[in-house]
Every structure is written in structure tokens, then in C-alpha cells.
Structure 1
Amino acid sequence: MRQIVALGSFKGAPGVTTLALALAAAWPAGGGARPVVVEADADGGDLAVRFGLPDSAGLLALAAGARHGGTERGAGELDGCAQVVAGSLRVVVAPTGGQQAAPCVTEVAACPSVLRGGGDSAGVVLLDLGRLGGAPSEELARLADRVVLVARGEADALAHVAARPEWLEAFRPELVVMGECRYSEADIAQALRMEQAQIHVLPQDARAAAALVGAAHMTPRRWGRAPLPRAAVALARQLNGADSEPGRGGLCGELAQLGSPAVPPQPPGWPAALPSVQRSEMP
């Protein structure tokens, strides 16, 4: 059966789709089946527009297969719904609008066999859940073998992760911080009460991100040396089964407030916009 890795964020657009595509490109070879990126964002997808693809053969068709509910049909349904982009990446695109996408996500969540396949199905499904919110995205996350939360590196973005302890406790997710971040992985881990091995700071790499959506060209040699693909390779290997020892680090500044039992007063000179709330007090 296929492995399922679910990716999503709690706020904004930190690059969930870009990360899903980067992981698909970096996933370790094995089993003869290439990864499939499935747009399962209840608010609608982006890839059909980005790549000029019809969405009728994507999540809409997968949801139609899910409605049949049969294992035999579901086992092969995913491959028939995937389209190839950026040379070799397989994607199942969602309708752009949430009015069509949300019912499709609900149908797929109710019939895991369209994602898992049968006993002879191999490979990995990378579920792009977009912004995590309603029941369908949580149901799909519960189906997944691994859950990856994506956030930007600012304190306010990390505060939204800290505000969802139920996700941190129930799913033991990996946290990927996309782009610029002035905090160390050890600092973030301690602030969020996670293990350092669960934290991954991926560098800002606009050219590689553009190449993933067909907006730029990179030679294989340059791609292999680019920061985002190199970081994605390391993350893909860990998601595929590697274990790491937890790390420890000291906290500083506003990060210390995210996981502390009490909120200290703001030191003089801090920007007023920085959050000064406890985990339990966050909206």
C-alpha cells in the first residue's frame, strides 16, 4: 500500500505546494513508483492554473472514484487521475474554487482506498492540504503516515503553530520553516516543546521554487546544488523512515514566550508588534 504524507499550514501561504513538489522531486527512488502530489486543499488548488492543466481529470475524478467506494476501483484510481508536470512530477490537481474542491476533499477523506491503493500499490502520496482548518483536512491528516506542518520563520507565524497543541500532540508532526528565519532549529523546538529532529528550516530559494512551477529553467547540475532541492532531499529521507536524535538549545527573545508557563514582561526596545501571549491564550 502507498505511504501517505500530509502537508499543511495554519495561516497564510508559506509554501506548502512548493514544498510538496520539492519533496516529490527529491523522494528516494524505490519500488518503481514515482511520488504523486495530490492537491487536497478544500479552498481550491493552484496547479491547474499554474501549469495550464484541465482539472476534470484530477481531484474531481478521484472523488468520483471515491464515491464508488470499492477497493478494486480505488486501488488504480489515483494513477489514472495524475498528470505529469515539470518534466516528471505527477500531480492530481484540484479545482480552483473551493465550491467544487471542498466536496471532493470530503469524498476522498471518506474513502482512503483511492489514496492507499491495494496491497500491490507502491510509492508515496504527498497530500497538499493547504490551510488546515475544517474537518476534511483533519480527517486526511489522520489517514496519513506522516504529517508536515509548514510555517514561515517569523514569531507570529510560529505562534499560530504553538496555538494548536492538539495537532502537535496528536500527530507528532514535522515542522518545516520556509524561507528566512533568525531562530535556530533548537530554539524553535524548545519553544514549541518539540524534538529538534522534528524541526527543519528550509532556505529561501526563489529560482528553484520557480523551476518547480515551470517559471524558470535549471540544469540538472545547478538543480542538484541549489539550496531548496538539497534541503528537500534530506527531509524526504527522514520522512521515508530515517530517525534522528533530539537536540537541545537555549531560548532567547520572543520565542521563549511561545512555550513558557508564564509570560514575562516585554524587555525594553522590543517591537510592539511581537506577540506576548501564552500558548493557552492564543486565538
Structure 2
Amino acid sequence: MSVVALCSAHGAPGVTTAALALCWSWPQARPGRRVLLVDADPAGSGLLTGYLSPGVPDSVGVSVLAAARGALTPEQVIGCSLALDAEGARMVLPGVADPVQARPLGSMWTALVSAARDLSDAGVDVVVDVGRVGHQFEPRVWLTQADLVGVVVAGTVASVAPAAAAVRGLAVERTGRLAPVGVVTDAGGYSRVQIAEAMGVTEVLELAADEWAARAFAAGEVAGWRFERSPLLRAARAAVERVGALVPERAVLR
């Protein structure tokens, strides 16, 4: 496996929380694999104002990586990333705080997508928080070349209707690759089948509406049995297992 990209089409249905939940659950759901969360939202990082709000070293982040010349190596990427646990099984590549900083990152994203193949060979899978689609400096390459794209929605008409349009557009751009899937963060009383039909997808990954665990992620308080057994983390582990079934092992980006 290599790259899973998450995006939204309207509002704030919880892309960053979904990405964090998948990242945190990854080593448990896929033993022997590490995971890198790439913070690629060009509108400004939700991690820097939440989970990473205590601050990050000046030596890490996408802007630091963008200063590298030529092809990116796994060592460079990991060197610019921040470990989220003592074992380094969960890592994050912090993004930008200001949308203006996203302007010069286009070529770096392309190089990083290419580096994802080598990262996968080194046992590191990649989850990407792309944010809301349609931004001027959108890292579109993640959405067109990722092994799997998840469009994140809440169970409301206001969220699902624009998501359906995004799914149609992405499906055309991703001809020959896996079609987009839905990722629902709060079903709002709708069934998975109803949401799938409304979005025009054949697969929906469901994450629990768990405000307590979402707040814990935002505060960086990710320890203790209550957190690990929270509905969000349990659902995220099941979602990662399903992703593993959908995406061929050691998929190669082309």
C-alpha cells in the first residue's frame, strides 16, 4: 500500500480529524507498517492550530522539504517529519500556516508523490490531508495519483450534494485507478447505503461521531485507555482494515 488522500467538498466535515484518526490507528490495524500523515491543506494547516499547536521545530515541515533540490528520498522526507510516538510508527509532515506559503509547493508535491513509492518499499504508508477541494494552490496531484481517495462528508444534504459533484469529477480524473470512496464522520441518521447512493460511490468508510475523541486530538491529549477504546478509534481501526482490503499491497504510483 502507499497513499490514501482525504479531501472534502464543502464546509468542515472533519478531514483533519479523520486523517489523524486513521494515522493513529494505522500501526494497530496494519501491524508491521508505519504511517506518515502529510499535512497538505493549502488553506492552512488544521494540525498547526490543533494537535501541533504547542509548536514544531523549524527543521520540519513541507516548507523545509520544498527547499531540497532534485528527487526526494525517504530519508529526506522522514527527516523533515515529526514522530508522534516513541517508536516512530506514526509520523507527521507539518503543513503551512498561511495560504500564501502554499504557492511555491506545487513541484514539491509532485516530487513527494513520487517518493511515496520508495516510502512504501521502506514500510511507510502515507495518509494525506488535502483539505477542501478547489483551492487556488490545491495539491491536485495527490487526488489524481493517490492509490485511494476518500471524500469526507457529514450526513447532511449540504455536505453530501457537493461531495457527489466532487466524486464525479475525481472519477473522471482517476480513470484507470480506484474510484473515490466516501468517508462519513457523522451519518446524521442516514444509513451507509443511503450516503453511498447520494454520493455516487460504491464504498463508504464510516467514522464515529465522537466529540470527546475529536477534542482529544485537537488538544494533543492522545493517551490512556479511554482514548484508545473510544468509538472514533475503534471505527478508525475498522476503516484502516477496509482500506487495506481495497488497496493492493505495495501499490505503485505511476
Give me the TM-score of the superposition, normalised by structure 1. 0.74
The match for 1:166 is 169
Query: Residue type matched to 1:173 in 2?
Result: P
Superposition deviation, residue 74 in structure 1 = 2.4
The structure-2 alpha-carbon separation of the partners of 1:193 and 1:211, relative to structure 1 and needing over 3 Å to count, comes to: same
Aligned residue for 2:184?
177
In structure 2, what is the equivalent of residue 3 of structure 1?
A: 2
Shift, 1:242, TM fit = 4.7
Match status 1:116 vs 2:117: yes
CA contact (8 A) 2:39 2:130 kept: yes
CA distance in 1: counterparts of 2:20 and 2:7, whole angstroms: 13
Deviation (angstroms), 1:82: 0.9
* Alignment correspondent of 2:92: 91
Indicate conservation of the 8 Å contact 2:207/2:239, yes or no.
Answer: no
Aligned length: 233
Could you give the per-residue CA deviations for residues 86-129 of structure 1, whole angstroms, max 9, x where no partner exists?
Answer: 7664111112001112322x122231334333684222111110
Helix, strand or coil at the partner of 1:124: strand
CA displacement at 1:55 relative to structure 2: 5.5
Out of 197, 200, 207, which is 2:205 matched to? Answer: 200
Counterpart residue number, 2:150: 148
d(CA) in 1 for partners of 2:35, 2:44 = 21
Q: Alignment partner of 1:91: what SS?
A: strand
CA 81–122 in structure 1, closer or farther in 2 if over 3 Å, else same: same
1:212 maps to which residue?
217
CA RMSD of aligned residues (A): 2.4
**3-state SS, counterpart of residue 181 of structure 1:** coil
**Cα distance in 1 between the residues matched to 2:171 and 2:195:** 13
Does residue 75 (structure 1) correspond to residue 74 (structure 2)? The answer is yes
CA–CA distance in 2 between the matches of 1:166 and 1:82? 32
Quote the Cα distance in structure 2 between the aligned partners of 1:126 and 1:93. 12
Larger radius of gyration: 1
TM-aligned CA distance change 1:189 to 1:118, over 3 Å: closer
Q: SS where residue 14 of structure 1 aligns?
A: coil
1:1-283 → structure 2 map (5 Å cutoff): 3-27=2-26, 28-31=29-32, 33-50=33-50, 51=52, 52-54=55-57, 56-65=59-68, 68-70=69-71, 73-85=72-84, 89-104=90-105, 106-111=106-111, 112-117=113-118, 120-133=121-134, 134=136, 136-164=138-166, 165-171=168-174, 172-195=179-202, 198-216=203-221, 218-220=223-225, 222-242=226-246
Q: Distance in 2 between matches of 1:148 and 1:219?
A: 29
CA contact (8 A) 2:19 2:37 kept: yes
Higher RCO (CA-CA < 8 Å; seq separation 6+): 2
Contact 2:40 2:130 in 1 (8 A): yes
Check whether the contact 2:181–2:201 (CA below 8 A) recurs between aligned residues. Answer: no
For residues 35 and 222 of structure 2, the distance between their equivalents in structure 1, rounded to whole angstroms, comes to 22
1:264 corresponds to? none
Aligned sequence identity (%): 32
TM-score, structure 2 as length reference: 0.81
Structure 2 SS opposite 1:110: helix
Gaps spanning 5+ residues in structure 2: where? 248-254
Distance 1:21 1:186, change over 3 A: same
Give the C-alpha shift of residue 18 in structure 1: 0.8
